[in-house]
Structure 1
Amino acid sequence: MQEYLASYARNFGIDSLLRLETKVESVVPDAGGWLVTTKGDGVPETERFDRVVVATGVFCEPAVPKFPGVDEFRAAGGVLMAGTEFLDLDDARDRHAVVAGYGKSACDVTVAIASVATSTDIVARQLLWKIPRKVAGF
Protein backbone atom coordinates (compact mmCIF):
# COMPACT_ATOMS: atom_id res chain seq x y z
CA MET A 1 0.00 0.00 0.00
CA GLN A 2 2.84 2.37 0.85
CA GLU A 3 4.48 1.85 -2.54
CA TYR A 4 1.14 2.36 -4.31
CA LEU A 5 0.56 5.69 -2.55
CA ALA A 6 4.13 6.84 -3.24
CA SER A 7 3.78 5.83 -6.90
CA TYR A 8 0.44 7.66 -7.16
CA ALA A 9 1.94 10.83 -5.71
CA ARG A 10 4.91 10.66 -8.10
CA ASN A 11 2.68 9.98 -11.11
CA PHE A 12 0.51 13.03 -10.46
CA GLY A 13 3.42 15.26 -9.42
CA ILE A 14 2.21 15.92 -5.90
CA ASP A 15 5.00 14.13 -4.02
CA SER A 16 6.93 17.41 -3.67
CA LEU A 17 3.93 18.86 -1.79
CA LEU A 18 3.98 16.18 0.90
CA ARG A 19 5.50 16.89 4.29
CA LEU A 20 6.23 13.64 6.02
CA GLU A 21 7.35 13.29 9.64
CA THR A 22 5.78 16.67 10.39
CA LYS A 23 3.72 17.36 13.51
CA VAL A 24 0.75 19.73 13.35
CA GLU A 25 1.13 22.00 16.37
CA SER A 26 -2.06 24.04 15.87
CA VAL A 27 -4.89 24.88 13.49
CA VAL A 28 -6.50 28.27 14.17
CA PRO A 29 -9.37 29.99 12.29
CA ASP A 30 -8.21 33.14 10.47
CA ALA A 31 -10.46 35.43 8.39
CA GLY A 32 -12.27 32.72 6.45
CA GLY A 33 -9.24 30.44 6.37
CA TRP A 34 -6.89 28.65 8.73
CA LEU A 35 -3.44 29.28 10.16
CA VAL A 36 -1.65 25.95 10.41
CA THR A 37 1.51 25.71 12.47
CA THR A 38 3.69 22.67 11.86
CA LYS A 39 7.00 21.46 13.21
CA GLY A 40 9.13 19.35 10.90
CA ASP A 41 12.84 19.55 11.60
CA GLY A 42 12.26 21.06 15.04
CA VAL A 43 11.49 24.46 13.52
CA PRO A 44 7.88 25.74 13.76
CA GLU A 45 6.39 27.08 10.53
CA THR A 46 2.99 28.77 10.10
CA GLU A 47 1.08 28.95 6.81
CA ARG A 48 -2.41 30.09 5.86
CA PHE A 49 -4.81 27.75 4.03
CA ASP A 50 -8.34 28.17 2.68
CA ARG A 51 -9.35 24.65 3.74
CA VAL A 52 -8.19 22.08 6.28
CA VAL A 53 -9.04 18.39 6.08
CA VAL A 54 -8.63 16.26 9.18
CA ALA A 55 -8.30 12.69 7.93
CA THR A 56 -7.73 10.05 10.57
CA GLY A 57 -8.33 6.35 10.42
CA VAL A 58 -6.46 3.17 11.22
CA PHE A 59 -3.27 5.10 11.93
CA CYS A 60 -4.79 7.41 14.56
CA GLU A 61 -4.91 7.07 18.32
CA PRO A 62 -7.89 4.86 19.13
CA ALA A 63 -10.92 6.52 20.73
CA VAL A 64 -13.12 3.98 22.50
CA PRO A 65 -16.05 5.66 24.26
CA LYS A 66 -17.13 4.62 27.76
CA PHE A 67 -20.22 2.47 27.29
CA PRO A 68 -22.62 1.79 30.17
CA GLY A 69 -22.23 -1.82 31.27
CA VAL A 70 -18.75 -2.29 29.75
CA ASP A 71 -17.36 -3.67 33.02
CA GLU A 72 -20.06 -6.34 33.15
CA PHE A 73 -19.53 -7.06 29.45
CA ARG A 74 -15.82 -7.66 29.99
CA ALA A 75 -16.42 -9.67 33.17
CA ALA A 76 -18.62 -12.00 31.10
CA GLY A 77 -15.77 -12.56 28.60
CA GLY A 78 -16.57 -9.80 26.12
CA VAL A 79 -13.81 -7.84 24.42
CA LEU A 80 -14.04 -4.16 23.48
CA MET A 81 -11.33 -2.74 21.21
CA ALA A 82 -10.68 -0.05 18.64
CA GLY A 83 -10.17 -1.09 15.04
CA THR A 84 -6.46 -0.28 15.34
CA GLU A 85 -6.20 -2.83 18.16
CA PHE A 86 -7.77 -5.63 16.09
CA LEU A 87 -4.74 -7.48 14.76
CA ASP A 88 -5.65 -11.16 14.90
CA LEU A 89 -8.65 -12.83 13.23
CA ASP A 90 -8.65 -15.43 15.99
CA ASP A 91 -9.92 -12.70 18.35
CA ALA A 92 -13.23 -12.90 16.45
CA ARG A 93 -13.25 -16.58 15.52
CA ASP A 94 -16.49 -18.35 16.51
CA ARG A 95 -17.69 -15.28 18.42
CA HIS A 96 -20.63 -12.94 18.01
CA ALA A 97 -19.12 -9.62 16.90
CA VAL A 98 -20.54 -6.09 16.82
CA VAL A 99 -18.75 -3.33 14.92
CA ALA A 100 -19.69 0.22 15.96
CA GLY A 101 -19.39 2.71 13.12
CA TYR A 102 -19.58 2.69 9.34
CA GLY A 103 -16.43 4.44 8.21
CA LYS A 104 -13.64 2.91 6.14
CA SER A 105 -11.89 1.30 9.11
CA ALA A 106 -15.12 -0.15 10.49
CA CYS A 107 -16.00 -1.65 7.11
CA ASP A 108 -12.51 -3.13 6.72
CA VAL A 109 -12.75 -4.78 10.15
CA THR A 110 -16.27 -6.05 9.41
CA VAL A 111 -15.25 -7.70 6.15
CA ALA A 112 -12.29 -9.38 7.83
CA ILE A 113 -14.16 -10.79 10.83
CA ALA A 114 -17.26 -11.83 8.90
CA SER A 115 -15.30 -14.74 7.48
CA VAL A 116 -14.51 -16.21 10.91
CA ALA A 117 -17.14 -14.91 13.38
CA THR A 118 -20.31 -16.79 14.25
CA SER A 119 -22.23 -13.57 13.57
CA THR A 120 -21.27 -10.03 12.66
CA ASP A 121 -23.47 -6.96 13.19
CA ILE A 122 -22.81 -3.31 12.42
CA VAL A 123 -24.24 -0.52 14.57
CA ALA A 124 -24.11 2.95 13.02
CA ARG A 125 -25.83 6.31 13.41
CA GLN A 126 -26.21 6.67 9.65
CA LEU A 127 -25.58 4.32 6.74
CA LEU A 128 -23.76 5.95 3.86
CA TRP A 129 -23.61 4.94 0.22
CA LYS A 130 -20.05 3.60 -0.12
CA ILE A 131 -19.61 3.73 -3.90
CA PRO A 132 -20.53 6.44 -6.40
CA ARG A 133 -24.18 6.26 -7.40
CA LYS A 134 -23.08 6.75 -11.02
CA VAL A 135 -19.89 5.79 -12.81
CA ALA A 136 -19.30 7.22 -16.30
CA GLY A 137 -22.91 8.44 -16.35
CA PHE A 138 -24.47 5.06 -15.53
Structure 2
Amino acid sequence: MAPRVAIIGAGFGGLCMAIRLERAGIHTYTVFERAADLGGTWRDNSYPGAGCDIPSHLYSYSFEKYASWTRRYPEQPEILDYLHHCADKYDVRRKIRLRTEVRRAVFDGGAWQVTTSSTEGERTETFDVVVMAVGQLNRPHMPDISGMDEFEGVSFHSARWNHDHDLTGRRVAVIGTGSSAAQLVPRVAERAEHLYLFQRTPQLGHPQAGRRLRALDADGVPVRAGAAAGVPGVDLQVRRGHPLSGAGPGVERGVTQAAGAAPPARPGARPRAAGEAHPPTIRPAASGWSSTAPSIQP
Protein backbone atom coordinates (compact mmCIF):
# COMPACT_ATOMS: atom_id res chain seq x y z
CA MET A 1 0.00 0.00 0.00
CA ALA A 2 1.41 3.39 -1.01
CA PRO A 3 2.07 5.81 1.86
CA ARG A 4 -0.29 8.73 2.36
CA VAL A 5 1.82 11.88 2.25
CA ALA A 6 0.90 15.40 3.34
CA ILE A 7 3.10 18.16 1.91
CA ILE A 8 2.72 21.55 3.60
CA GLY A 9 3.61 24.40 1.26
CA ALA A 10 3.61 24.79 -2.52
CA GLY A 11 6.85 26.66 -3.05
CA PHE A 12 10.07 25.26 -4.53
CA GLY A 13 10.41 22.57 -1.84
CA GLY A 14 6.80 21.42 -1.79
CA LEU A 15 6.51 21.25 -5.57
CA CYS A 16 9.79 19.33 -5.81
CA MET A 17 8.53 16.75 -3.30
CA ALA A 18 5.25 16.38 -5.17
CA ILE A 19 6.97 15.95 -8.52
CA ARG A 20 9.40 13.39 -7.13
CA LEU A 21 6.56 11.36 -5.63
CA GLU A 22 4.62 11.55 -8.89
CA ARG A 23 7.63 10.34 -10.88
CA ALA A 24 8.16 7.51 -8.39
CA GLY A 25 4.61 6.30 -8.97
CA ILE A 26 3.32 7.45 -5.56
CA HIS A 27 0.10 9.34 -6.17
CA THR A 28 -1.34 9.22 -2.64
CA TYR A 29 -0.13 12.69 -1.63
CA THR A 30 -1.75 16.07 -1.04
CA VAL A 31 -0.11 19.49 -1.11
CA PHE A 32 -1.63 22.04 1.28
CA GLU A 33 -1.13 25.71 0.42
CA ARG A 34 -2.76 28.42 2.49
CA ALA A 35 -2.34 31.11 -0.17
CA ALA A 36 -4.42 31.51 -3.32
CA ASP A 37 -1.66 30.29 -5.63
CA LEU A 38 1.56 28.28 -5.65
CA GLY A 39 5.04 29.83 -5.68
CA GLY A 40 6.01 30.40 -2.06
CA THR A 41 8.45 33.27 -1.59
CA TRP A 42 8.41 33.99 -5.34
CA ARG A 43 4.68 34.56 -5.15
CA ASP A 44 4.86 36.77 -2.06
CA ASN A 45 7.89 38.89 -2.95
CA SER A 46 6.99 41.04 -5.93
CA TYR A 47 8.77 44.27 -5.00
CA PRO A 48 10.57 46.21 -7.78
CA GLY A 49 13.75 44.39 -8.80
CA ALA A 50 12.91 41.17 -6.92
CA GLY A 51 15.03 38.37 -8.29
CA CYS A 52 17.64 35.72 -7.61
CA ASP A 53 21.38 36.27 -7.40
CA ILE A 54 22.15 32.68 -8.35
CA PRO A 55 22.44 32.03 -12.12
CA SER A 56 19.15 30.85 -13.60
CA HIS A 57 20.43 27.48 -14.82
CA LEU A 58 21.56 26.67 -11.28
CA TYR A 59 18.38 27.98 -9.66
CA SER A 60 16.38 25.21 -11.32
CA TYR A 61 15.36 21.66 -10.49
CA SER A 62 18.00 19.12 -11.49
CA PHE A 63 15.36 17.15 -13.39
CA GLU A 64 13.92 20.17 -15.20
CA LYS A 65 16.58 22.13 -17.01
CA TYR A 66 14.90 25.12 -18.55
CA ALA A 67 15.93 26.51 -21.94
CA SER A 68 13.68 29.57 -21.79
CA TRP A 69 15.44 31.74 -19.21
CA THR A 70 15.93 35.24 -20.62
CA ARG A 71 18.43 36.49 -18.05
CA ARG A 72 21.52 35.06 -16.41
CA TYR A 73 20.07 36.15 -13.05
CA PRO A 74 16.30 35.65 -13.25
CA GLU A 75 13.78 38.08 -11.84
CA GLN A 76 10.70 37.20 -9.82
CA PRO A 77 8.10 36.96 -12.63
CA GLU A 78 10.29 34.55 -14.59
CA ILE A 79 10.98 32.33 -11.57
CA LEU A 80 7.28 32.19 -10.75
CA ASP A 81 6.54 31.26 -14.36
CA TYR A 82 9.09 28.45 -14.09
CA LEU A 83 7.32 27.02 -11.03
CA HIS A 84 3.95 27.13 -12.83
CA HIS A 85 5.59 25.47 -15.83
CA CYS A 86 6.86 22.63 -13.63
CA ALA A 87 3.51 22.19 -11.86
CA ASP A 88 1.76 21.84 -15.22
CA LYS A 89 4.38 19.71 -16.96
CA TYR A 90 4.48 17.13 -14.16
CA ASP A 91 0.72 17.31 -13.52
CA VAL A 92 0.88 18.04 -9.80
CA ARG A 93 -1.38 21.09 -9.79
CA ARG A 94 -4.43 18.82 -9.42
CA LYS A 95 -3.02 17.62 -6.08
CA ILE A 96 -2.65 21.11 -4.56
CA ARG A 97 -5.34 22.41 -2.22
CA LEU A 98 -5.13 26.18 -2.33
CA ARG A 99 -6.49 28.47 0.40
CA THR A 100 -6.10 25.59 2.83
CA GLU A 101 -4.09 26.15 6.01
CA VAL A 102 -2.72 23.37 8.19
CA ARG A 103 -3.70 24.18 11.77
CA ARG A 104 -2.47 21.06 13.56
CA ALA A 105 -0.46 17.91 12.88
CA VAL A 106 -0.50 15.32 15.67
CA PHE A 107 1.29 11.97 15.55
CA ASP A 108 -0.76 9.39 17.46
CA GLY A 109 1.86 6.65 17.39
CA GLY A 110 0.81 5.08 14.12
CA ALA A 111 -0.09 7.94 11.80
CA TRP A 112 -0.41 11.71 11.52
CA GLN A 113 -3.72 13.43 12.18
CA VAL A 114 -3.60 16.61 10.10
CA THR A 115 -6.23 19.28 10.70
CA THR A 116 -6.79 21.96 8.06
CA SER A 117 -9.07 24.95 7.67
CA SER A 118 -10.45 26.42 4.46
CA THR A 119 -13.53 28.14 3.15
CA GLU A 120 -15.27 24.78 3.49
CA GLY A 121 -14.55 24.64 7.21
CA GLU A 122 -12.25 22.51 9.32
CA ARG A 123 -11.40 18.87 8.65
CA THR A 124 -8.98 16.24 9.94
CA GLU A 125 -7.32 13.64 7.71
CA THR A 126 -4.90 10.78 8.32
CA PHE A 127 -1.44 10.58 6.71
CA ASP A 128 1.54 8.28 7.09
CA VAL A 129 4.11 10.98 6.33
CA VAL A 130 4.13 14.76 6.79
CA VAL A 131 6.63 16.87 4.80
CA MET A 132 7.15 20.42 6.03
CA ALA A 133 7.95 22.70 3.08
CA VAL A 134 6.80 26.03 4.47
CA GLY A 135 10.14 27.80 4.04
CA GLN A 136 11.24 30.69 6.24
CA LEU A 137 10.34 33.81 4.28
CA ASN A 138 6.55 33.64 4.38
CA ARG A 139 5.90 35.78 7.44
CA PRO A 140 7.39 39.28 7.21
CA HIS A 141 8.26 40.89 10.52
CA MET A 142 7.63 44.60 11.00
CA PRO A 143 10.18 46.09 13.43
CA ASP A 144 8.95 47.64 16.65
CA ILE A 145 10.22 51.18 16.08
CA SER A 146 9.26 53.89 18.53
CA GLY A 147 6.83 56.33 16.93
CA MET A 148 5.88 53.98 14.08
CA ASP A 149 2.22 54.19 15.00
CA GLU A 150 2.38 57.99 14.68
CA PHE A 151 3.79 57.97 11.14
CA GLU A 152 1.21 59.58 8.87
CA GLY A 153 2.58 58.35 5.58
CA VAL A 154 2.21 54.99 3.84
CA SER A 155 4.33 52.12 5.12
CA PHE A 156 4.62 48.48 4.11
CA HIS A 157 7.03 45.56 4.15
CA SER A 158 8.94 44.62 1.00
CA ALA A 159 7.37 41.14 1.11
CA ARG A 160 3.91 42.77 0.98
CA TRP A 161 4.66 45.42 -1.59
CA ASN A 162 1.89 47.98 -2.13
CA HIS A 163 1.76 48.21 -5.92
CA ASP A 164 -1.14 50.67 -5.72
CA HIS A 165 1.04 53.31 -4.07
CA ASP A 166 3.08 55.21 -6.66
CA LEU A 167 6.51 56.23 -5.33
CA THR A 168 7.24 58.63 -8.18
CA GLY A 169 8.41 62.00 -6.85
CA ARG A 170 8.11 60.96 -3.20
CA ARG A 171 10.54 60.93 -0.29
CA VAL A 172 11.09 57.27 0.53
CA ALA A 173 12.85 55.67 3.51
CA VAL A 174 14.08 52.09 3.30
CA ILE A 175 15.06 50.33 6.53
CA GLY A 176 17.53 47.47 6.12
CA THR A 177 20.30 46.56 3.70
CA GLY A 178 19.75 42.86 3.08
CA SER A 179 19.36 41.30 -0.34
CA SER A 180 15.82 42.64 -0.72
CA ALA A 181 17.04 46.19 -0.20
CA ALA A 182 19.96 45.62 -2.56
CA GLN A 183 17.44 44.76 -5.27
CA LEU A 184 14.66 47.25 -4.65
CA VAL A 185 16.65 50.37 -3.70
CA PRO A 186 18.11 51.01 -7.19
CA ARG A 187 14.65 50.62 -8.77
CA VAL A 188 12.92 52.87 -6.25
CA ALA A 189 15.71 55.47 -6.47
CA GLU A 190 14.96 55.86 -10.18
CA ARG A 191 11.46 57.16 -9.35
CA ALA A 192 11.66 58.73 -5.92
CA GLU A 193 12.45 62.39 -5.36
CA HIS A 194 14.82 61.33 -2.58
CA LEU A 195 15.59 57.96 -1.04
CA TYR A 196 16.94 57.51 2.48
CA LEU A 197 18.53 54.16 3.33
CA PHE A 198 18.89 53.27 7.01
CA GLN A 199 21.22 50.48 8.00
CA ARG A 200 22.29 48.93 11.28
CA THR A 201 25.24 46.95 9.92
CA PRO A 202 27.18 47.92 6.76
CA GLN A 203 26.97 45.39 3.94
CA LEU A 204 29.49 44.46 1.27
CA GLY A 205 28.01 44.56 -2.21
CA HIS A 206 29.13 44.48 -5.82
CA PRO A 207 27.49 45.11 -9.20
CA GLN A 208 25.63 42.17 -10.68
CA ALA A 209 26.52 41.21 -14.25
CA GLY A 210 22.95 40.31 -15.11
CA ARG A 211 23.25 40.01 -18.87
CA ARG A 212 20.28 38.93 -20.93
CA LEU A 213 20.37 35.58 -22.69
CA ARG A 214 19.74 35.38 -26.41
CA ALA A 215 16.29 34.75 -27.81
CA LEU A 216 15.46 31.36 -29.32
CA ASP A 217 14.44 30.94 -32.95
CA ALA A 218 11.54 28.80 -34.19
CA ASP A 219 13.65 25.64 -33.83
CA GLY A 220 14.67 26.43 -30.26
CA VAL A 221 18.19 27.47 -31.28
CA PRO A 222 19.61 30.61 -29.63
CA VAL A 223 19.85 33.60 -31.93
CA ARG A 224 23.38 34.63 -31.10
CA ALA A 225 25.85 37.12 -32.44
CA GLY A 226 29.38 37.80 -31.38
CA ALA A 227 32.40 35.75 -30.42
CA ALA A 228 30.65 32.45 -29.72
CA ALA A 229 28.49 32.52 -32.84
CA GLY A 230 30.75 30.07 -34.65
CA VAL A 231 30.66 27.47 -31.86
CA PRO A 232 27.44 25.45 -32.26
CA GLY A 233 25.30 24.93 -29.19
CA VAL A 234 27.27 26.99 -26.67
CA ASP A 235 24.43 29.30 -25.63
CA LEU A 236 21.94 26.42 -25.61
CA GLN A 237 24.28 24.48 -23.32
CA VAL A 238 24.41 27.50 -21.02
CA ARG A 239 20.62 27.51 -20.85
CA ARG A 240 20.47 23.80 -20.12
CA GLY A 241 22.96 23.99 -17.26
CA HIS A 242 26.06 22.59 -18.97
CA PRO A 243 29.19 22.95 -16.78
CA LEU A 244 30.51 25.56 -19.20
CA SER A 245 27.69 27.82 -18.06
CA GLY A 246 29.62 28.55 -14.89
CA ALA A 247 32.26 30.34 -16.89
CA GLY A 248 30.70 33.74 -16.27
CA PRO A 249 31.00 36.86 -18.43
CA GLY A 250 34.26 35.67 -19.96
CA VAL A 251 32.76 32.60 -21.62
CA GLU A 252 32.61 34.23 -25.05
CA ARG A 253 36.28 35.20 -24.81
CA GLY A 254 37.20 31.65 -23.83
CA VAL A 255 35.15 30.18 -26.66
CA THR A 256 36.83 32.45 -29.16
CA GLN A 257 40.24 31.31 -27.94
CA ALA A 258 39.20 27.66 -28.04
CA ALA A 259 38.10 28.19 -31.63
CA GLY A 260 41.63 29.12 -32.62
CA ALA A 261 42.26 32.74 -31.71
CA ALA A 262 45.36 33.43 -29.64
CA PRO A 263 44.64 34.68 -26.12
CA PRO A 264 45.54 38.30 -25.37
CA ALA A 265 48.99 38.75 -23.86
CA ARG A 266 49.08 39.54 -20.16
CA PRO A 267 51.34 42.38 -19.04
CA GLY A 268 54.79 40.93 -18.40
CA ALA A 269 53.86 37.51 -19.82
CA ARG A 270 56.59 35.41 -21.43
CA PRO A 271 56.25 35.24 -25.24
CA ARG A 272 55.37 31.72 -26.39
CA ALA A 273 57.68 29.89 -28.73
CA ALA A 274 56.46 28.96 -32.20
CA GLY A 275 54.23 25.89 -32.02
CA GLU A 276 53.94 26.00 -28.22
CA ALA A 277 50.43 24.97 -27.15
CA HIS A 278 48.18 27.38 -25.35
CA PRO A 279 46.74 26.19 -22.03
CA PRO A 280 43.02 25.37 -21.85
CA THR A 281 41.03 28.57 -21.89
CA ILE A 282 37.46 27.63 -20.90
CA ARG A 283 37.39 27.51 -17.13
CA PRO A 284 34.72 28.30 -14.52
CA ALA A 285 35.30 31.82 -13.30
CA ALA A 286 35.54 32.50 -9.59
CA SER A 287 32.48 34.11 -8.07
CA GLY A 288 31.50 35.40 -4.66
CA TRP A 289 28.93 33.88 -2.35
CA SER A 290 25.52 35.48 -2.16
CA SER A 291 22.05 34.68 -0.87
CA THR A 292 19.47 32.91 -3.04
CA ALA A 293 16.15 34.51 -2.30
CA PRO A 294 14.51 37.72 -1.16
CA SER A 295 15.35 38.34 2.48
CA ILE A 296 13.02 39.38 5.28
CA GLN A 297 14.72 41.97 7.43
CA PRO A 298 14.36 41.71 11.22
TM-score range, shorter chain: 0.5 to 0.7
Provide Cα deviations, 1:5-33, integer angstroms capped at 9, x if missing partner: 433211133324322232211245889xx
Q: Counterparts of 1:55-70 in structure 2 under 5 Å? A: 55=135, 63-70=141-148
Q: Tell me if 1:98 matches 2:180.
A: no
**Which residue of structure 2 aligns with residue 6 of structure 1?**
84
Identity over aligned residues, as a percent? 27
**Which residue of structure 1 aligns with residue 93 of structure 2?**
15
Query: Within 1, Cα distance between the matches of 2:201 and 2:115?
Result: 34
Query: Within 2, Cα distance between the matches of 1:52 and 1:128?
Result: 33
Query: Within 2, Cα distance between the matches of 1:112 and 1:47?
Result: 46
What is the aligned-residue RMSD (CA, Å)?
4.4
**Which residue of structure 1 aligns with residue 197 of structure 2?**
121
Residue type of the alignment partner of 2:85: S
Q: CA deviation at 1:121?
A: 2.5
TM-score by length of 2: 0.31
More strand by share: 1
SS of residue paired to 1:80: coil
Q: 1:4 to 1:53 in 2, by over 3 A?
A: closer
CA contact (8 A) 2:115 2:125 kept: yes
Residue type of the alignment partner of 2:146: P
Query: Within 2, Cα distance between the matches of 1:46 and 1:107?
Result: 44
Q: 1:71 to 1:13 in 2, by over 3 A?
A: closer
**Which residue of structure 1 aligns with residue 292 of structure 2?**
none
Provide Cα deviations, 1:113-133, integer angstroms capped at 9, x if missing partner: 23212225264779699x9xx
- Paired residues in the alignment total 126
CA contact (8 A) 2:104 2:115 kept: yes
**Which residue of structure 1 aligns with residue 63 of structure 2?**
none
In structure 2, list runs of 5 or more residues that go unmatched: 1-76, 209-240, 247-283, 285-298
Aligned match for 2:134, one of 54, 57, 64: 54
Query: Within 1, Cα distance between the matches of 2:99 and 2:84?
Result: 15
In structure 1, list runs of 5 or more residues that go unmatched: none
Query: Within 2, Cα distance between the matches of 1:65 and 1:81?
Result: 11
TM-score by length of 1: 0.54
Query: Within 1, Cα distance between the matches of 2:90 and 2:198?
Result: 37
Q: Which of 1 and 2 has higher RCO (CA within 8 Å, sep 6+)?
A: 2
Q: 1:68 to 1:49 in 2, by over 3 A?
A: farther
SS of residue paired to 1:9: helix
